[in-house]
Amino acid sequence: MIKGCFIQVNKGVFVLDPEESCQHISRYVTEIGMQTWVIRADNTLHPPYYEFYREWKEGKRILHERLFATSKIEKMINFINQYI
């Protein structure tokens, strides 16, 4: 469920990252189980396009493992609730 600046799932809350977001792209971040998880919402598309991925650092590089993508936030939340 999206409520303004966060997205709530069963095991946590994804919070809007104001430094990495703009009016076109919203980036929501959480840490669950010693992992960083990210939801990226592309608001330039109608309906918005959501991507879910795991993020980690190796040295100076930031790496992403894309796990799921959809245009329906309900599908995204259901996938996250089953995956994490």
pLDDT in tens, 24-74: 999 999 998 899 999 999 999 999 999 999 999 999 999 999 999 999 999
pLDDT of residue 3 exceeding 70: no
Is residue 50 within 8 A of residue 65, CB to CB? The reply is no
**pLDDT of res. 84:** 87
pLDDT of residue 17 exceeding 70: yes
* Residues listed for the chain: 84
Q: What is the pTM of this model?
A: 0.90
**pLDDT of res. 2:** 60
Q: Is 47 left (phi over 0), alpha (psi -120 to 50) or beta?
A: beta
- Residue ranges in 1-84 assigned as alpha helix (H): 73-83
